[in-house]
């Protein structure tokens, strides 16, 4: 078989500079965007996708906190999650800024094939879909056993891939959920653990063009590859390749690059962060 999903090479190509903790990473065109914690004055760092040279920084006006970032190729913009203000910030590449309320606490973001924004609201177990201008298109509650959902990606079929599970919750899984959000179709994981077929803190997802799923498993300190039916295939990034705690990831299908954001945990606090670039 050919294609990104079955490639076995997974070497480190580059490490972007260490700095304050990283809470989001995405790519758009010929640039990589890295989101630092809110304490940074210019929270978004922009790097060239070929040379990895830092090009500029972007400011997110009126922001209070950040938990995730994604990008839209159609509208050439970034979306940034602000849980403290319960809002989404939109930054156009030209520099213009808008924001809109979520009316729940947003946690993670993704952009659908039809260019709408999918917002995962962890505390209330909801998905909310917004237009690129911030109009609420729909929202629904996930099944009762999807506890503490972290990140969601909508497939071209309209179904959703959701990862869930947190400290204190026994079930840690990646689930495929029906279009209306009411039914689990497939799942990977179950009881929290480190063995093959188990997860421990699945926190962020990426899906390739063939609907293979990349999962950041925080506490197992790895990135796992799942089939479209959510069967285990292999570790894409193993724990011996990760020095810090992986939290976010972004897949560049065209360049066959996986950007993994990892943060250094010291005495219960994140003290530093960086993005590691892998070939896949």
In order along its 280 residues, the chain shows pLDDT tens digits of 334 444 444 688 999 999 999 999 999 999 999 999 977 667 899 999 999 999 999 999 999 999 999 999 999 999 999 999 999 999 998 778 999 999 999 999 999 999 999 999 999 999 999 999 999 999 999 999 999 999 999 999 999 999 999 888 889 999 999 999 889 999 999 888 888 888 999 999 999 999 999 999 999 999 999 999 999 999 999 888 888 999 999 999 999 999 999 999 888 888 999 999 999 8
Q: Do the domain assignments include residue 87?
A: yes
Beta-carbon-side half-sphere exposure of residue 43 (alpha carbons within 13 Å):
27
Q: Is residue 46 in some structural domain?
A: yes
Q: CATH number of the domain at 42, please.
A: 2.120.10.30
For residue 6, being part of any structural domain is answered with no
Q: Are 36 and 273 in contact (CB under 8 A)?
A: yes
Q: For residue 232, what are the β-bridge partners? A: 226
d(CA 117, CA 106): 12
3 in a structural domain: no
**Residue numbers of the domain that contains 130:** 19-279
**pTM, full prediction:** 0.94
Cα–Cα separations (whole angstroms), residue 173 to 10, 40, 189, 219, 234: 24, 33, 4, 13, 16
Tell me whether residue 2 is in a domain: no
- Cα–Cα dist 116/128, whole Å: 10
Q: Is residue 115 part of a domain?
A: yes
- For residue 5, tell me if it sits in a domain: no
Count the domains in the chain: 1
Domain assignment present for 4: no
């Amino acid at each position: 078989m050919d294609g990104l999903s079955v490639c076995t090479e997974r070497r480190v190509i580059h490490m972007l500079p260490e700095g304050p903790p990283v809470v989001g990473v995405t790519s758009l065109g010929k640039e990589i965007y890295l989101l630092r914690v809110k304490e940074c004055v210019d929270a978004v760092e922009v790097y060239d996708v070929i040379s990895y040279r830092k090009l500029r920084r972007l400011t997110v006006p009126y922001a209070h906190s950040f938990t995730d970032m994604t990008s839209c190729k159609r509208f050439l913009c970034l979306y940034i999650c602000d849980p403290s203000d319960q809002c989404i910030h939109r930054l156009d590449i030209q520099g213009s800024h808008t924001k809109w309320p979520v009316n729940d606490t947003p946690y993670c973001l993704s952009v659908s094939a039809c260019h709408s924004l999918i917002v995962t609201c962890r505390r209330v177990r909801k998905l909310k879909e917004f237009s690129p201008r911030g109009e609420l298109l729909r929202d629904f509650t996930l099944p009762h056993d999807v506890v503490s959902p972290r990140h969601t990606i909508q497939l071209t079929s309209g179904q959703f891939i959701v990862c869930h599970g947190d400290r204190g919750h026994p079930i840690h899984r990646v689930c495929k959920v029906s279009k209306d959000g009411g039914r689990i179709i497939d799942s990977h994981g179950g009881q929290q653990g480190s063995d093959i077929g188990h997860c421990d803190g699945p926190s962020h997802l990426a899906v390739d063009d063939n609907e293979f799923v990349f999962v950041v498993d925080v506490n197992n300190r790895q990135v796992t590859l799942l089939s479209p039916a959510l069967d285990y295939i292999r570790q894409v990034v193993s724990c011996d390749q990760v020095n810090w705690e992986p939290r976010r990831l972004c897949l560049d299908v065209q360049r066959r690059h996986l950007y993994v954001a990892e943060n250094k945990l010291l005495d219960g606090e994140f003290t530093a962060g960086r993005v590691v670039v892998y070939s896949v």
